[in-house]
Structure 1
Amino acid sequence: MTGEREQGTPADVAAAVLGTLDVRLSGAPVPLGHARQKAVLAVLLFDVNRVVPAEGLIDRVWGGHPPARARSVLRTYVSNLRRALARTGITITWRDHGYALTADPDSVDLHRFRRLLAEARGSGEPRRALELADEALALWRGEPLAELDTPWARSVRDSLRQERTAAQADRTDWALDRGRHADVLPELTARTAEDPLDERLAGQVMLALYRSGRQADALEHYQRTRRRLAEELGTDPCPALQRLHQRILTADPALTAAVRFPGETGSASVPRQLPAAPTPFIGREGELARLDAASDAQTLVIFAIGGAGGIGKTWLALHWAHRRLDRFPDGQLFADLRGFSPDSEPMNPAVAVRGFLDALGVADNRIPVDPHAQAALFRSLVADRRMLIMLDNAADTSQLTPLLPGSRTCTVLVTSRSRLSGLVIGHGARQLSLDVLTEAEARALLVNRVGADRVHAEPEAVDEIIRLCGGFPLALSIVAAHAQTHPHTSLTAAAAELRGLGLDALDDDDPAASLPTVLSWSRRALTTEQWTVFALLGIAPGPDISLAAAAALAGLSARRTRTALRALRDAFLIEEHLPGRYTMHDLVRAYAASTAHDLPEPVRQAALARVVDFYLHTCYAAERLLSPHRQPIDLAPIAANAQPHPLPDHPAALAWLQREHPHLLAAQHTALAHHRYPVVWQLAWALTSFHGRRGHHHDALAVWRAALEAANHLPDLVNHVVAHRRLGFAHAWVGEAEEATWHLRQALVLAEHQQDSVQQAAVHRDLAWAWARRGENRRALEHAQRALDVYRALDNPVWEADALNAVGWCAARLGEYDTARAHCQAALRLHRRHHDHNGEAHTLDSLGYIDHHTGRHAQAVDHYQQALAQHRASGHTYEVADTLDRLGHAHAALGQHDPARAGWREALELYREQQRDEDAARVRRQLDDLDARD
């Protein structure tokens, strides 16, 4: 699309996805940079107002050939785009693990196209539908996502072309309804040449020709289509096309009226079995649009609506069905198959078939005795009818198969707590898995049920109710029903009850109004082993769980665990939100945790011991890969039936730690709660390098506080020394100087009492760093020198190199640059000799600082760039930001403003991601000063 502003665009910005990317402000184009940068914007526009994970963004833009340091390149592109879009109202922000572009969806042609088309299909009035369709189709101005040639883009283009083709077909129907046959005939003729086997298109051509007074041409077109179908596919025209042919042959007068292809079929008995439409109905606009679009197809449509108990499957299906009754003039059939009923077995499908035959007016003496013959009769009766068949609460595919029509004119809605993979594979069903309501939808539900005045009067209580219910429709409905029946009870009290009682607040004597009871009905479809795994998942540490951790938790093989997890996923009790990672809704997890208490205590304790050991031993292995020169500690053997996750190398270790960090923190809490004090201390130790490299200093503070508490129960005083020392170090990082000094002095006293030279030197090194953080560089230098003296006496060259760099850094901060350079150069030689890449990076950074402050800016750039490469390679993003900042100063001193600006922009992004607000503000000022100089 050219990006020219369309009539009716509500915003001052028009952004194009359906063609070459263009953004305009008040009609003027906004410069977007080079093609790859525009491709990043195109991907974000495609998912407007949603988070696109960084890795997914890289895959969509570069496919299988990302550039080196792809994340860094991506950050630069995003930063450039932010500046370009600053005045347009379009923003790009970092959220969680990805980027989100925020804009009015109507300002993006793709989303405006879809919105207009959905409105057209829901209008029920051909004139208005035609106007909306014309406006939607006018938004196409070329090849969608023209900037991209990746597998993702090619797949999306194919999908968008199908959307456009469906829109064109619908537009033709509406035009024919309006008597515009002469206008659409040239376009139909051209499209027929491109797709001569499209029977819907053939019917439209025949109808347009007939209404244009060209009966013979219409009949000839049918014969050509019939021959092509026979020659290329070996089939006859569909019944609807055959009927239209017959009506043209007989010059049916009704064809001159405004009718849509295919024509209606009459029925002596028109069943209307749908239960009453649920009220109120809130949200689910995307799901309704998918149902609308699918039901437009000229083929049998089977939609499998799946989700957990209480998520609103029947609610959605009935609302859509009642809203679209006009699409099913031949009737609607309904059956509750009781697949997950608390008081009965699933319905035999033969019983449902027999009920459908009765509804269709078949006399008893015409109904065959054999169930297979009854199913065949049912299929014959609904053939070529435009009917809706709703099959609620299905157990499995075998229960559904006899109830499926063979006619391409029917639509089948199935709801189930099972994923019904067999229905998808064997019958081409389209899956629609329901998630929880959005916050806005949850609030609208409460407003509708409780009343706007009560909701607006207690906004904080409403916010808490929405948060605690997590968008679960049944939970929200239970709370709302209680508020309705107790109008004098405040919503604040309802929120307090929900907060205090948790899942028990959503229980009730009425099974249908009890979330725990409704969830329990899913147990029927699971084996004892699968239900045990479900229960244990409720008490597992962390927000989600990997397959490897779940296997340790359950004490099963990976194969048996995967089978159990798939069964739970297919029952919508858990979600595989990432490949190999599983999560639960908070309320489902609370229910699982409650069922875990039905397990014997030894079973629960053993499961928690296994999963905590899994996290500890894998974390320890990762720490050894990150810091191979660190003095190791001894771990007890891992629990039986648990295996650590294999980590082949440094990148794998860093990736695993990044992914599992919340679970490692939770595992430490679990270990502390169960008095496994050695594990508590060891987990803190094993997280040290990762916390430093990622700047998780508040987390370091928390884990070492727990470790110090655990050390009080451990006999070895070294545990106390290390806990005090690491706790002091963490306090210093977060700017709590007094607490840092106190803990470090405690560590020093204990180390001296134990005559432990290794720990004494380590404490002096940390004291040096803590005093340097406070600007007390002379005192820092004294402690660094004492650490160096002890390490030299211990004859440990790696620790000696670390202390040499500390002395050099402190001397440099005091302006004693010759001393500083000599110590850092000596440190660099030792680090390189012993392959300590982390220590080498820190020392190179120190040398860069010394060079910059002695006027040797070119050498400073070289040292900083070497340090930066090492930090990037080791995943030390915290130090990457600091080195980029210092490198920018060296470039600026050389008058190299573009590299300085690029480095500071990347540092700014990292500081923001790391929530280092003061550093971010300082770099922002540096960039502003640099811009002012230019």
Structure 2
Amino acid sequence: MATCFGILGTIEVWRDGVAVDVGHGMQRRVLGALLVDAGRAVSADALVDRVWGDAEPAYGRRKLYGYISRLRHALAADGTALTRERGGGYRLAVEPSAVDAHRFRDLSGRARKAGGDEQAEALWREALALWRGSAFAGVDTPWFNARRHLLDGERLAAQLELADVRLRLAQHEGMVGELAARAEEHPLDERVTGQLILALYRCGRQAEALGVYERARRRLADELGVDPGPALRRLYQRILTGAAEPVAPRSAAPADKSGTAVNPPMARQLVPRLLPADQSLFVGREEEVDEARRLLGEERPGPVTLLITGPAGVGKTALAVRTGHLLASRFPDGQLHADLRGFDDEPAEPFTVLGTFLRALGVPGGTVPAELTGRVHLYRTLLAGRRTLVVLDNAASARQVSDLLPSGVRCATVITSRTTLAELAGRRLPLGVLDPATGLDLLRGMLGRDRTDAESGSARSIVETCGGLPLAVWVAGARLAARPHWTLAKVARALTDEQRKLDELAVGHIAVRASLELTYQQMAAATRHALRMIALLPGTGFAAWALAALLDADLSEAEAVLDDLVEVHLVQVGSANTTGIRYQLHDLVMLFARERAERDVPERERAAALTRLLGASLHLADLAADTLKVDFQGIPQRDLASWRLTEAEAGHLLTDPLAWFNDERQFLIDVAEQALDGAEGVAPAAGLATALTALFQVGSHFDDWERLQNRALKAALSSGDRHSAAKVHRCLGELTTILDRYPEALDHFEQALLHSEGQGPAYRAGATAGLAYVHRLLGQYSSAVLHFEEAAELAESAGNVNCLVYATNGLGVIDLEQGRVEAAVTRFTECLRVSRAAGYRPGEAQALRCLGQSHRALGAYPAAADAYRQAVTISEELGDRLSATHATCWLGDVLVRHGAHREGRRLLARSLWTYREFGNLWGEAATLYALAEAQLAVGRPAPARRRAEAAVRLWRQIGSSRWLATGLDTLAEAHTLAGDHTAAALTRAEAEKVRTA
């Protein structure tokens, strides 16, 4: 028997197409709560919260058990099991594909990856046909409401995707009515507006299309104080000139992790310049350079792809970089460059490269799509009308580059590879070894004409022995340049001897290995050991402290041995920045070093070195976060570090901890991932992942945060490390709260509490405070107060000042939001005192923001503005843009109320765009609410009503009942001021219903 489950409408069960009676409404609620997590355990506490919210009846847990028992009986006929898990939760053993919502998401994902529009259309139609009405129809609890808003967003995203596909398939004639209705329902969605305009234009209704644009422009100006985005403006101009093109498909609204379409602000048109510096010593290759310039400079009907192929060390990268610099004027919109590390153990993934490219193109970090397809679409959309050169260096396969190829007709791509990449289409430029004369020119450029001419025979012998491979000539020449007292004959003889020892290798590799082997054998034992240890590092760039950890040495020793390696050009100085020098190895030198490490370093010694590297990384990352004092948890991780630098060395590195983190971010991520894959232990690896939380938050590195900690969580759960799982769940709860994904946040915090049972108060305090914060955002005050009070008790018992301040401040916010202003001021003043005494600056900024809110509630606007300005200063000094924006938003509000209208509106507009950059819906709604309140204060009901309506729409989407009610109050006041008393009465009644629900 085939059993299917439905939540995209009323909660239903069908067996072989026939509806199954699974009980009354409350019992169906329990079923719906389980179906959202089909196949996964859901705790009893979570089920109670989902089914009743704050309205849990007496004996709610006992009622839940009864519903589950009856459901188990109703579902048993076809073998569907509803089991109680060992941890106390309940699991409905059904495949996600049997649930319409999960099937909808699967079909949506397949549609986004479809090979053609016809296939995509069929998949989108199949996905949307699963909907029978509003999700969880008839159910009204905060959790179900939040899930409903999430699914409604996914449904709208699918409708928009299908509309794009149908427009590309020229089905515009039958779409105008549908698109017009959708535009009426979503008047501020520029993508919907663009689809309607394009359909009208293609139907020959140009005047109507232009009218739709003008109405949208006026509405955006009146309600948000902004102009239409670049995409809509370009479509308008094309219609005016009769040259309209289809709006950009799927990428116009990238999807978040769940598949829900989001509409981030358009990327600022930045001009990226990512090409590495050109080499000063570049000889020969005149014909190849001319050919590359000719191919890339041609005007062609589509994008140009040039493939530079050849053996390792032949100079492919140098040629690509030289050509890119020579053609800079041909590509005025910039050059993108990525080392794909195709032949490393861990090649660069297209997902990561696209994230780097999108940020370089101006896409804010918080709005970069969270899945590969969305990134590809957005990347190609941004490059569609630009002249940009993309250089993809060291590719291993067509698969690695296919998602990175731009589709813009004026773009060009240069790909370098050691393989032929036969499956890729494009113009090919195979690169061979240097001829003897050019090789000699290279050696002469390194050593000087006098020295090479004095031993011309030996110079020619060196070039010949190197087989014309530029890297081999460079290594031999670099070694001679570092030792002017050596004769060329000595090196020539040594190379010849080494050649015979490695005659089984390919010609190009013979020279490279011989030269490296010669250099290696001439070094001191400690220097050779250091080169072998460097081979254990992840990635291609590193700082001296990492080598110090591998060598179990102090920082000065590591720097001295690096100087020796730089002298013989085995290690290159990559860059010098505010936190010190970074080093790197050429890929072939790294390969050689790895072979030596595997041959000469026992496995136990390699493992010990990697454990020290993990310890040093964990210690420094935790110390950097602690120095910034941005983590409300206030729980150090460095006790997990098995090795650390001295206090003086660490202090020297972390003079500017935020700059240090920005320089080391990718390296630290690589170390954590290497440890999660290795044998260093899950606990310290997860400790490093969680130690980076505050630094990820300050820098808005949400992609890195989610990807790394999801890996850490998987490792912790797989190994049964409940303590690490609790920590990572807590951190992911914080992230999903910032991203307004409240159901996920609640789940993470609940799991953190579940896994931290019996492990002391420290982590229970943080998870409980996070849970309280989300409940407050959702307007669930009774739950929020209980959790904040519990968090404060736990934090106090653990001696955790940061979390104590956070929880106390949360209680003050609830006092303030419920009108108990004096009680709130008392709590905020205490938080400010404790934070200043402890040097906890984020707590100080938060207390000042909240005191500003209290003064605002009392009408003391100058005092409120002063508090907000202090909070802005502290958050900006910490580099915490999101917290600074919170204070800036309310500063703008009180300035307007105090008569400084122009400055206040400017700050509110800036805050609105920053919130949109972060994708922070709650902040966007709060800013619109502030604008509405400000307009009411000066007697302007019409704009106040528009802004309040926009805020209410967002709070409905978020699922925050408390703030929804507040927004409805303001909207009702705007109706009253406008004389629309009927609308005011209806809105007040809705606000009261929301409060009592």
If the TM-score is normalised by the length of the shorter chain, which range does it land in? Answer: 0.3 to 0.5
Give the TM-score, by structure 2 length.
0.41
Give the TM-score, by structure 1 length.
0.44
Bigger relative CO (Cα 8 Å, ≥ 6 apart): 2
